[in-house]
């Protein structure tokens, strides 16, 4: 029987790797096994764990490096302390959209946006929630406005 953490990881991987797995949970389990074998104490790691997300993003980038028709860009909002500010979010997302512009299919992975708005051990306030919701809307609108017409862009927030 699967634990709730394992099930959440499988759903996360199935969503992230959908272009490769075709929503096949068996393949998602194989990807999970590949990632967890490379991380210490991986069985306890939730899909929101930064090390697990980074390992999944690295694997995703390596797999799509061999696919000439599918682009991939990973933007980590918490990489810098200013990542959640609208100006820096725009710069990071635009960098990704420029690099993906030549691909007919692409994936833009945005990670740690929640963490950038509310660091660990801080409380979610109404203002932080509103700023987070505004950032989500801003990134969605920017991706829709700046994507090439006819291109298939998958925008994932983790």
> What is the mean pLDDT of the segment spanning 142-149?
90
- Kindly tell me if the per-residue pLDDT of 67 is higher than 80: no
- Give residues with Cβ within 8 angstroms of 100, minimum separation 6: 71, 72, 73, 106, 108, 147, 151, 153
Please tell me the predicted confidence (pLDDT) of residue 115: 84
Q: Which residue has the tokens 């810098």?
A: 80
CA 140 to chain centre: 13
pLDDT confidence band for 100 (50 / 70 / 90) = very high
Domain that includes residue 142, residue range? 67-157
Average pLDDT taken over every residue of the chain: 80
Looking at the predicted structure, is the pLDDT value of residue 134 above 90?
yes
Q: What is the pLDDT of residues 101-126, one digit of tens each?
A: 999 988 888 888 888 888 878 898 99
pLDDT band (50, 70, 90) for residue 138: very high
Q: Would residue 40 count as lying in a domain?
A: no
Q: Please count the structural domains in the chain.
A: 1
Rounded to the nearest angstrom, the gap between the alpha carbon of residue 13 and the centroid of all alpha carbons in its chain is 10
Residue 22 lies inside a defined structural domain of this protein: no
In-domain check, residue 14: no
Q: What angle do CA 21, 22, 26 make, to 5 degrees?
A: 50
Q: Give 45's pLDDT tier (boundaries 50, 70, 90).
A: low
**Structural domain includes residue 54:** no
Three-state SS at 155: strand
pLDDT tens per residue, range 68-83: 788 889 888 887 766 6
8 and 32 Cβ atoms separated by less than 8 Å: no
Structure tokens at 139: 């990134």
**Within a domain: 25:** no
């Amino acid at each position: 029987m699967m634990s709730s953490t394992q099930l959440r990881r499988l759903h996360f991987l199935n969503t992230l790797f959908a272009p490769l797995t075709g929503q096949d949970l068996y393949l998602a389990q194989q990807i999970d096994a590949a990632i967890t074998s490379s991380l210490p104490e991986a069985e306890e790691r939730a899909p929101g764990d930064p090390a697990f997300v980074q390992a999944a993003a690295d694997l995703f980038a390596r797999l799509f490096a061999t696919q000439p028709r599918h682009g991939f860009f990973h933007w980590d909002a918490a990489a810098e302390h200013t990542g959640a500010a609208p100006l820096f979010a725009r710069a990071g997302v635009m960098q990704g959209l420029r690099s993906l512009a030549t691909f007919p299919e692409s994936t833009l992975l945005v990670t740690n946006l929640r963490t950038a708005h509310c660091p660990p051990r801080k409380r979610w306030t109404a203002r932080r929630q509103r700023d987070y919701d505004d950032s989500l809307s801003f990134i969605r609108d920017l991706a829709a406005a700046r994507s090439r017409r006819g291109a298939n862009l998958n925008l994932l927030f983790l």
